Structure 1
Amino acid sequence: MTTPRDLLIVTMDAEPSRLVERGDLSLALAGAELIDLLAAREAGLDGERVVPGPAGAPGDPLLHQAATSLVREEPYETVGDWLWRRGRGLSADYLSALEADGQLVRQRNRRWKVFWTRELALVDTDARRRAAHRLRSDEPVLAALTEAIGLREPDGEAPKVSDDAVARVLAALDDALAELAAERQRRDRRRDEAAVDNVRRGY
């Protein structure tokens, strides 16, 4: 299993009160992919830019897709640009992949907190147990990712990630999530202002 798959599994396994926005999860999955690509030397960082490694073939199909989608011409793209580009719709892609692998089943009257669907449920598999163990053991990368999307409460000290490149990816993810949250607030404010205007006009 890969870090993105583990992240999706523990997100689905979280308490019902832990609501994760689709966009937040997609950005975090893109960050998790890049972290795995760095670990596999499929990519590196030069400052804030993602430098592609040799075109290898990661075993996971979505991770392979991520590796082949790296920008391979200078000046390359920044980590932030990667998160926004690769993250677009990524949560749905991982959902489909888990379902195709038999990790998810469709079941009536079952709600998943990320997409508020009543159809998808996790199957009790070794992959699910491994992801849960990784979370319980406070493995730094998964701990940091789950904290970023609000599944893990900060305990006063950020998860200790020793790799500088991974830390830069996580910092860029925090920035992207903050930007997305700010955009949601602006959108909500515009909607509220429009509602007030409609009331004033008698609608």
Structure 2
Amino acid sequence: MGPDLALELALEGLVCGIDEAGRGPWAGPVSAAAVIFDPARVPKGLNDSKLLSAKARAALAIEIREMAIAWCVGLASVEEIFALNILRATGLAMRRAIDGLTHAPAYALVDGNYAFELPCEVRTVVGGDGLSCSIAAASILAKTTRDEIMVEMDGLYPGYGFAAHKGYHAPAHVEALKRLGPSPIHRMGWAPLRALMAEAGG
């Protein structure tokens, strides 16, 4: 059993699903997507993006963009993460995603248990990317968009392996940081990263 539209259909008016990608990495932006579906036009095979292969995510991302009533991906930069903290920057990315929709939703179903301040009424859904089709679709768009950005960053800042690990903690990433030092897209406000650089410098 995968996600369905039961949560969306229980609410009146347009409902968007929202999810984020990239709260945990050491480098790169955080992304959030918002998706509104017509119940009669929903791609088959939607699920939590983490449970899908990269190939399946890429194929579904195309279908989501073609079939959704509205969709948008919002980003918050490394600088904004540093200035705001990751939680508030994630909320900013979510607001940008909703603001970019061509149709204003009455409700937002947000994956997780934190009620971000958004431009519509919020319903939090723990494990939502496995329950709600619109949240699952948002998780796919948020992840595929961020992954594409990190592949581009690999070309701009070679040697770190961003195309492979997408900025997350990985042995190759740690080794590259020790060898090259941080790049402009590393989240140097993060204590583990600062500690690693202090250890490497010392």
Q: Return the TM-score normalized by structure 1.
A: 0.26
Larger radius of gyration: 1
More strand by percentage:
2
Q: Return the TM-score normalized by structure 2.
A: 0.26
More helix by percentage:
1
